[in-house]
Chains A and B, each alone.
Chain A
Amino acid sequence: NAGVTQTPKFRVLKTGQSMTLLCAQDMNHEYMYWYRQDPGMGLRLIHYSVGEGTTAKGEVPDGYNVSRLKKQNFLLGLESAAPSQTSVYFCASSYSSTSGSTQYFGPGTRLTVT
């Protein structure tokens, strides 16, 4: 049982390049989330999904797109990377929509945009 995994662990992009971050969970969780972590700001929600085929915007969605084609995977895309998107990205999942259901986090992806 690997829990929540993220690919890749590190990435360096040039401004304007695109990339996709992959999150996978093997816990059969319905909800999945993408956060970004910046110094002094905690984690902020980018997008989330309440089930296969559904996505919704979080607090800071601009510049990102997501897809949830399979229940176990949640993809985060950057179509045209900007230096402001330099951050550490965390994926999380939870079993249910019930508020208070524990979110389980992946190890993170460190992205640098030059």
Chain B
Amino acid sequence: AQSVTQLDSQVPVFEEAPVELRCNYSSSVSVYLFWYVQYPNQGLQLLLKYLSGSTLVKGINGFEAEFNKSQTSFHLRKPSVHISDTAEYFCAVIPSGGYNKLIFGAGTRLAVHP
């Protein structure tokens, strides 16, 4: 079965510092990869996704992620975070041919401090 591991449950960081949120997945088949963000008391919003092509994917709000097939990873990065980036971030995969069913990681809570 497919699974997604987000290696850090919480990441505290100071404003304007860089951040990396780590995501690894287990799969023996091709997958599509996603990062979603959930702001407090809201639904999930798509940050970015990888379907094919360039392994470096740029998303909204200055975030980017790099797909590494050999390491089965899809880490999310931002070079300089803002207080407003405080949220929970979810990595998710869809195995190809998987009827578009998302498999989520447990989430990483990013806390940006002034």
Q: Are A43 and B90 in contact (CB under 8 A)?
A: yes
Write out, one digit per residue, whether chain B residues 68-104 have a CB within 8 A of any chain A CB (1) or not (0).
0000000000000000000000101011111111101
A95, chain B: closest CB distance, angstroms = 10
Partner of B94, one of A42, A58, A99: A99
Q: Are B106 and A103 in contact (CB under 8 A)?
A: no
Q: How many residues of A contact B (CB 8 A)?
A: 28
Q: Does A83 have its Cβ within 8 Å of any Cβ on chain B?
A: no
Known: A40-B9, A43-B44. 7 other contacts (CB 8 A): A42-B104, A96-B100, A97-B99, A100-B49, A100-B94, A105-B36, A105-B45
Chain A binding site: helix, strand, loop or mixed by DSSP? Answer: loop
Contact (A42, B32) CB under 8 Å given A98-B100, A100-B94: no
Chain B residues with CB under 8 Å of A107's CB are 42-43
Chain A residues with CB under 8 Å of B32's CB are 99-100
Stretch in contact with the other chain, from A12-20, A44-52, A65-73? A44-52
**Interface residues, chain A, with chain B CB atoms under 8 Å away:** 4, 31, 33, 40-45, 48, 50, 58, 90, 92, 94, 96-108
- Bound CA span A94–B9, Å: 28
B4, chain A: closest CB distance, angstroms = 8
Partner of A103, one of B42, B51, B96, B100: B100
Chain A residues with CB under 8 Å of B46's CB are 102-104
Contact (A90, B99) CB under 8 Å given A40-B106, A42-B104, A43-B104: no
- Bound CA span A100–B44, Å: 16
Q: Are A41 and B51 in contact (CB under 8 A)?
A: no
Write out, one digit per residue, whether chain B residues 45-66 have a CB within 8 A of any chain A CB (1) or not (0).
1100101000000000000000
Q: Are B90 and A99 in contact (CB under 8 A)?
A: no
Chain B residues with CB under 8 Å of A92's CB are 44
Chain B residues with CB under 8 Å of A41's CB are 106
Q: Are B51 and A100 in contact (CB under 8 A)?
A: yes
Q: Are A31 and B100 in contact (CB under 8 A)?
A: yes
B114, chain A: closest CB distance, angstroms = 26
Contact (A105, B43) CB under 8 Å given A43-B90, A99-B98, A99-B99: yes
